[in-house]
Amino acid sequence: MAPTTTTTSAVTGVRTVTGPLVNYFYGELSVKVTANGKKIKSVTIGTLTDGGNPRSITIDQYAIPILEPEALAAQSSSIQSVSGASYTSAGFQMSLQYALKSLGI
Amino acid sequence: MGSAATSTRHLIEVMGTVVTVDLFGDVDDLSAAGVIEQVEEILREADRVFSTYKESSPLSRLRRGEVTLGETPAVVGDVLDLCQRAKSLSAGWFDPWHLPGGIDPTGYVKGWAAQRALDHVRILPLSGAIVNAAGDIASFGGPTPDTVFRTGIVRPDDEGQLAAVVELRGSLATSGEAQRGAHLFNPFTRQYGAAVASASVAGPDLGLCDALATALSVGGHDVMVLVEKLKDYEAMTIDAQGSIRATPGFPFVRD
């Protein structure tokens, strides 16, 4: 395998962008993406409203551990990943794509 | 994360989501970066060929009848063969040929692509690796050479809580209404709707896990019985009341 170098890019530095509020299963959410240059460092929930649905109050409290399963892991036994989390939701993806576009990724 | 394990996380934005690749073990950054770049290309290629959102993708053109299967890249035929196998193993509950809008192997492709990505990562000297494509997970090995990975399956009514923790021996896919709204289509009733709130399938191959999890969501108990007969595959469902059912070999962690 040939050694590869890091992709060069005009975009540099650590930047954080929050996507627009979009509807999701229980209310509205926005996705917050932090990138270093063009490399994604973290993807979390920026804002979340539950539309009065009590189910999502706990989601709000722990800020959905999207792509951060360690946050969930800390609450339970030692786990390395999470299956079935809400980051497959259409709303999440819409806000995510907007945020990534803003970051030029 | 496991206390003794050394791991690095790589995030790849592809297929309308973010795929995470976690590498466990002492690997030099340069080797890892090279492999991650190739993994990214594997995932992007799958997206280019199979995206139903990109109008110019070979699959979109096949769906519109603009090209025949023979005119698409060979990989399309390969995946459709795998889908045919998944359809027969699930007694027709997974059926990409009878979906609204034409043939749609999307329910197989995400898992299939993540499994290919994982298989490529094996060339690195790792104790283990995890590729997580929006909750569909392919893995090998463990956080250290003598431990196994554990995965949490979230509660469908409250994704901040775990319904179960399982030992990850290979792959795990979870399907359910809560994640993507009413997207599950019943090929027999020709209606949207799921039999259970959450359906997980564990086994060696994530493409088949993904397809069987979709089938299990829609078919419920009928599909659970089929998965139980499949060697090396196990299933778990959570119903609207929160009751968990599983095949006898489902790898729950009970501690």
Domain ranges of chain B: 7-246
**Residue B239: partners with Cβ closer than 8 Å, 6 or more residues away:** B196, B197, B245
What pLDDT shows up at residue A88?
46
Average pLDDT, stretch B12-17? Answer: 81
Interface list for B 212-251 with A (CB within 8 A): none
Given a cut of 70, whether residue A81 has pLDDT beyond it is yes
∠ CA B60-B62-B180, rounded to 5° = 40
Among the residue ranges A38-52, B14-28, B41-55, the one predicted with the least confidence is: A38-52
What pLDDT shows up at residue B5?
62
Domain boundaries, chain A: 14-102
Average pLDDT, stretch B26-48? Answer: 94
Q: Per DSSP, what are the bridge partners of residue A43? A: A33
Q: Coil, helix or strand for B29? A: helix
**What distance in Å separates residue B71's CA from the closest CA in chain A?**
32
Bridge-based pairing of strands A39-49 and A28-36 is antiparallel
Distances (CA, A) of B221 to B180, B224, B236, B242: 22, 5, 10, 15
CA neighbor of A91 nearest in space, from B181, B38, B35: B181
Q: How confident is the model at residue A78 (pLDDT cuts 50, 70, 90)?
A: low
CATH 3.10.520.10 given to domain B7-246: yes
pLDDT in tens, B115-127: 999 999 999 999 9
What pLDDT shows up at residue B164?
87
What distance in Å separates the CA atoms of residue B64 and residue B136, rounded to the nearest whole number? 28
Please give the residue that has the higher pLDDT: either A49 or A77. A49
**What distance in Å separates residue A2's CA from the closest CA in chain B?**
8
A and B: number of Cβ contacts within 8 A: 139
pLDDT in tens, B66-88: 999 999 999 999 999 999 999 99
Given a cut of 90, whether residue B42 has pLDDT beyond it is yes
Burial of A73 (0-12, 13-18, 19+ CB in 10 A): buried
Given a cut of 70, whether residue A73 has pLDDT beyond it is no
Kindly state the tokens that stand for B172: 């795990």
| Chain-chain contact of B22 with A81 (C-beta, under 8 angstroms) | yes
Q: Coil, helix or strand for B78? A: helix
Average pLDDT, stretch A25-42? Answer: 74
What pLDDT shows up at residue B67?
96
B160 phi, psi to nearest 5 deg: -85, -10
Q: How confident is the model at residue A68 (pLDDT cuts 50, 70, 90)?
A: very low
**What distance in Å separates residue A88's CA from the closest CA in chain B?**
6
Name the percent of chain A lying above pLDDT 70: 45
Average pLDDT, stretch B12-34? Answer: 88
What distance in Å separates the CA atoms of residue B215 and residue B149, rounded to the nearest whole number? 26
pLDDT in tens, B147-195: 999 888 888 877 667 788 899 999 999 987 654 445 688 888 888 888 8
**For residue B34, how far is the Cα from the chain centroid?**
24
Q: Which residue of A has its CA nearest to B110?
A: A88
Amino acid at A27: G
Does B160 touch chain A if contact means CB atoms closer than 8 Å? Answer: yes
Given a cut of 90, whether residue A48 has pLDDT beyond it is no
What distance in Å separates the CA atoms of residue A90 and residue A86, rounded to the nearest whole number? 9
The ipTM assigned to this model is 0.78
What pLDDT shows up at residue A41?
74
What distance in Å separates the CA atoms of residue A23 and residue A48, rounded to the nearest whole number? 10
Does A25 touch chain B if contact means CB atoms closer than 8 Å? Answer: yes
